Amino acid sequence: MDAILVLEDGRYFHGNSFGATGERSGEVVFNTGMSGYQEILFDPSYCGQLVVMTAPQIGNTGVNTFDSESHQPQAAGLIVRAYSDSYSSWRARSSLSQIVREHQIVAVSDVDTRALTRHIRTAGAMRGIISTEDQDIERLTAKARAIPRMEGLDLTHIVTSSEAYHWFEGSQEWKVVNLSPGEADTLPHRPRLTYQPGGLHVVSYDFGLKRTILRRLVDYGCRVTVVPASTSAEDVLALQPDGVFYSNGPGDPAPVAHGIATVNQLLGRVPIFGICLGHQLMGLAMGGKTYKLPFGHHSINHPVRYLKTGHVEITSQNHGFAIDPDSLPADVEITHINLNDHTIEGLRHRSLPAFSVQYHPEAGPGPHDATYLFSEFVAMMVEMKQ
The reply to whether 360 belongs to the active site is yes
Sign of CA dihedral 221, 227, 228, 233: negative
Cis bond leading into 73, ω under 30°? no
Strands of 140-262, DSSP E: 165-167, 201-206, 223-228, 243-246
| The residue type at 218 | V
Contact 338, 304 (CB under 8 A): yes
Identify the active-site residue in 8, 39, 69, 362. 362
Query: Which amino acid makes up residue 162?
Result: S
Taking Cα atoms as reference points, which of 290, 313, 310 lies closest to residue 302?
313
Give first-to-last CA distance, the chain, whole Å.
65
Asked if 29 contacts 124 with a C-beta cutoff of 8 angstroms, the reply is no
Catalytic status, residue 222: no
Is the CB of residue 79 less than 8 Å from the CB of residue 53? Answer: yes
Of the residues 27, 276, 297, 298, which is catalytic?
276
Residues 6 or more apart whose Cβ sits within 8 Å of residue 105: 19, 20, 24, 41, 73, 75, 76, 77, 78, 99
User: What's the CA gap between 263 and 368, in Å, rounded?
Assistant: 27
Q: To which H or E segment does residue 46 belong?
A: none
Enzyme catalytic residues: 276, 360, 362
